[in-house]
């Protein structure tokens, strides 16, 4: 009787009324006390509503039963088969579907269905792998943003392989704090390539200049990646070697930064030597064994003299930097090494000594610019903080009944008759 009356009424009722009635009947079926006959009739009525032509009815039914543990499986499967918003609601919320069913839905469903699956909490690794393999770009971005999903390194690599050119996907992956070293290295390469192509297409830089800047940025990024304490050192070194970034220049830069653990791991990997043995040679700074390790690791002869000098000068540079007004240990160490190379250059061939000095001069220039950027940023921050501290005092003075004269004589600057020599030097340098 109830089913007959409901179906007769549903034939003539408007879609919004049918949707409300379907939602009410579904909630009654799930939560209200019913005898077996009434429950059977209600289930029949809900099943018939799957054939309703209105998406409003399907959405109302999906909203009512998607999160329920006692929802009839045939209703859930029917809504998924309907597609559209109702299917997305069920795929995102229900806990009654198996991993295999979710994989099938991801493979056969439209983009909206794939996005809904990608947003599920605690998404199994098998489903995540299926989405990474067949999912649309939007679904892959949703998967990358889902921190509760069990996404393996292989699945993340597949995301990059399929959609790595998309900036939004790269940004979403970079926002994750649990990215493996291999993913970070691949992302670094992709971002560098994208930026290089952008500046070349816009005509901002020549291809040669853009290539050089991209190479320098990748080297800096590789060093930052290798110094990240959240990642395993052996894993990082392996990834850098696979990406072709574990170069002699990289090892030298790490040495000058004082990252001896990274240097030991890099030399050990390049020369297939035990890490403990390499670390001992670096710590003791024994010339003959260290020279053998460097040769086995493929460090060229013109770079080899840096290692014993750097190991000696880094300790002294750290002490000197503590009392310096504005200089980093790296920059002080470079100065000391360059001074020593200038004095000892007769011991090596002129060509090799020249190459080494030129390389270190370039590195010194980069270090000086980094140091200047850091100091400038600190000065700007300090100036901003001082201005913010002064604003309340100026505001209270402006609101006073009688504004006293501010004594600004001490801050007034007399006009310069002629610019100082330092400004002339700067002007000449800029003109040149």
Higher pLDDT, 319 or 380: 380
Q: 18 lies in which domain range? A: 1-97
Lowest model confidence (mean pLDDT) among 59-63, 163-167, 340-344: 340-344
Q: Is residue 354 part of a domain?
A: no
Q: Is residue 167 part of a domain?
A: no
- Is residue 190's pLDDT more than 80? yes
71-130 pLDDT tens trace? 999 999 999 999 999 999 999 999 999 999 999 999 998 999 999 999 999 999 999 999
Q: Is residue 5 part of a domain?
A: yes
- Is residue 347's pLDDT more than 60? no
> In the predicted model, what is the mean pLDDT of residues 288-306?
89
- Is residue 43's pLDDT more than 90? yes
Cα separation, 226 vs 106, in Å, equals 37
Cα separation, 65 vs 328, in Å, equals 64
> In the predicted model, what is the mean pLDDT of residues 37-52?
92
In total, how many domains does the chain have? Answer: 1
Q: Is residue 36 part of a domain?
A: yes
Q: Are residues 327 and 319 in contact, defined by beta-carbon separation less than 8 angstroms?
A: no
Where does residue 217 fall: left (phi above 0), alpha (psi -120 to 50 degrees), or beta otherwise? Answer: alpha
128-185 pLDDT tens trace? 999 999 999 999 999 999 999 999 999 999 999 999 999 999 999 989 888 888 899 9
Q: Is residue 255 part of a domain?
A: no
Q: Which of 221, 283, 284 is nearest to 253 (CA)?
A: 221
């Amino acid at each position: 009787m109830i089913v007959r009356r409901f179906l007769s009424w549903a034939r003539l009722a408007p879609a919004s009324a049918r949707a409300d009635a379907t939602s009410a009947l579904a909630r009654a079926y799930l939560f209200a006390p019913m005898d077996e006959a009434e429950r059977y009739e209600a289930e029949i009525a809900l099943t018939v509503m799957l054939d309703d032509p209105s998406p409003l009815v399907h959405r109302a039914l999906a909203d009512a039963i998607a999160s329920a543990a006692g929802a009839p499986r045939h209703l859930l499967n029917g809504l998924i088969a309907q597609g559209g918003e109702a299917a997305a609601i069920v795929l995102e919320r229900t806990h009654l579907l198996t991993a295999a069913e979710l994989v099938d839905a991801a493979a056969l469903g439209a983009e909206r269905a794939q996005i809904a699956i990608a947003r599920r909490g605690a998404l199994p690794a098998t489903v995540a792998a299926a989405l990474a393999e067949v999912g649309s770009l939007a679904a892959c971005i949703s998967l990358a943003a889902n921190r509760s999903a069990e996404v393996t390194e292989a699945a993340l690599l597949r995301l990059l392989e399929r959609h790595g050119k998309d900036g939004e996907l790269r940004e979403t992956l970079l926002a994750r704090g649990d990215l493996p070293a291999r993913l970070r290295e691949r992302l670094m390469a992709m971002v560098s390539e994208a930026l290089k192509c952008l500046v070349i297409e816009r005509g901002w830089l020549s291809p040669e200049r853009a290539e050089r800047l991209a190479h320098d940025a990748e080297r800096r990024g590789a060093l930052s990646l290798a110094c990240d304490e959240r990642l395993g050192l052996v894993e990082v070194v392996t990834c850098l070697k696979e990406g072709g970034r574990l170069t002699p220049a990289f090892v030298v830069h790490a040495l000058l930064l004082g990252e001896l653990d990274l240097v030991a791991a890099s030399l050990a990997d390049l020369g297939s030597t035990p890490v403990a043995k390499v670390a001992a040679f670096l710590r003791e700074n024994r010339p003959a064994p260290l020279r053998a390790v460097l040769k086995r690791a493929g460090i060229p002869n013109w770079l080899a003299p840096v290692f014993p000098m750097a190991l000696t000068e880094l300790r002294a540079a750290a002490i000197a930097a503590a009392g310096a007004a504005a200089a980093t240990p790296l920059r002080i160490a470079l100065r000391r090494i360059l001074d020593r190379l200038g004095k000892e250059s007769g011991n090596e061939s002129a060509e090799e000594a020249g190459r080494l000095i030129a390389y270190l001069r370039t590195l010194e220039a980069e270090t000086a610019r980094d140091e200047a950027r850091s100091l400038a940023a600190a000065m700007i921050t300090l100036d901003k903080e001082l201005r913010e501290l002064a604003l309340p005092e100026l505001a209270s003075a402006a609101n006073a009944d009688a504004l006293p004269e501010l004594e600004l004589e001490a801050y007034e600057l007399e006009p310069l008759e002629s610019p100082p020599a330092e400004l002339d030097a700067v002007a000449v340098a800029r003109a040149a």
